[in-house]
Amino acid sequence: MIQLAENRYGKSRVRLMKVTRHPHGNDLLEWTVQVLLRGDFESAHLGGDNSKILATDTMKNTVYSVARNSSAKSMEEYAMELIDFLLGRNPQVSSAEVRIASTLWKRLTIDGKPHPDSFMRGSGELQTTLVEKSQGGTFKIVSGLEDLVVLKTAKSGFEGYIQESLTTLKETSDRLFGTAIKAEWLYDAEGFDYEAVRSTIRETMLKTFAEHDSKSVQQTLYAMGESALNTVSEISEIKLAMPNKHCLLVDLSRFGQDNPNEIFVPIDEPRGYIEARIVRQA
């Protein structure tokens, strides 16, 4: 017997830019929003009956309409508003999920002062959140960041690993350590300053990365997650992924030159990939 096991649908890559205007200047946000709904949609799949289907174009319009009236000060708060709006209007929907990725814009500094209404794009880093809620349920909020590219030129080595017939990598106590951090953390509660907590987590992990005497990517990854959990009580776990963006020491001996760890070639592929989930014990 063949049956529909599960399904969901929605609208992805809804681009939203919001300007909040103040007498002293403006604030700017750029978000990419995804909405996914679960519910009683079996009739659409099995019989072509769309009477319970909210058009994905309507979801797109809902993103903009809710944003216009929103008083949210964070992605998390806006996602919760959007979910409550969708669940309230659609009893056939059993649960809704909203994912938001925020692009960084930085205020221009002109003559040493922040400009009130001009901005420049920041790095490729994305701030993210994933918010879920069932009808009559509570919110589950997982926030994070992606593509936070960092590099340290000291206090990093890699030694003592397995040496076997296919090993060609040389041990080193002094190497470049570059990575693109992806982090996701689970909130224990709701109703606090998500932006402040996000900033604290981010800065705590960056401080640990910079100051840690790294014996491996694994060791530094754990230290970063541990510091975030020790510093921020509002989260119960954090998952980190840190690809090792290699910078290879160039052999200049054939040119009659030495290379005291100064000339490298960065490569994109292949790369090491390390991830772990770190939790707070009850």
Alpha helices for the chain (secondary structure H): 42-47, 56-69, 75-89, 194-211, 217-231
Is 167 an active-site residue? no
* pLDDT score recorded for residue 190: 87
* pLDDT score recorded for residue 81: 98
Residue pLDDT tens, the chain, 282 long: 999 999 999 999 999 999 999 999 999 999 999 999 999 999 999 999 999 999 999 999 999 999 999 999 999 999 999 999 999 999 999 999 999 999 999 999 999 999 999 999 989 999 999 999 999 999 999 999 999 999 999 999 999 999 999 999 999 999 999 999 999 999 998 889 999 999 999 999 999 999 999 999 999 999 999 999 999 999 999 999 999 999 999 999 999 999 999 999 999 899 999 999 999 987
- Rounded CA gap, 260 and 197, in Å? 41
* pLDDT score recorded for residue 278: 98
> Out of 133, 212, 245, 246, which one is annotated catalytic?
246
> Out of 11, 60, 133, 245, which one is annotated catalytic?
11
Is 11 an active-site residue? yes
What's the pTM value of the predicted model, to 2 decimals? 0.92
The answer to whether 95 and 140 are in contact (CB under 8 A) is no
- Rounded CA gap, 37 and 6, in Å? 12
* pLDDT score recorded for residue 282: 73
Residue type, 85: F
* pLDDT score recorded for residue 243: 96
Which domains, ranges and CATH numbers included, belong to the chain?
9-138 (3.10.270.10), 147-161+172-245+274-279 (3.30.1130.10)
Is 115 an active-site residue? no
> Out of 18, 32, 52, 56, which one is annotated catalytic?
56
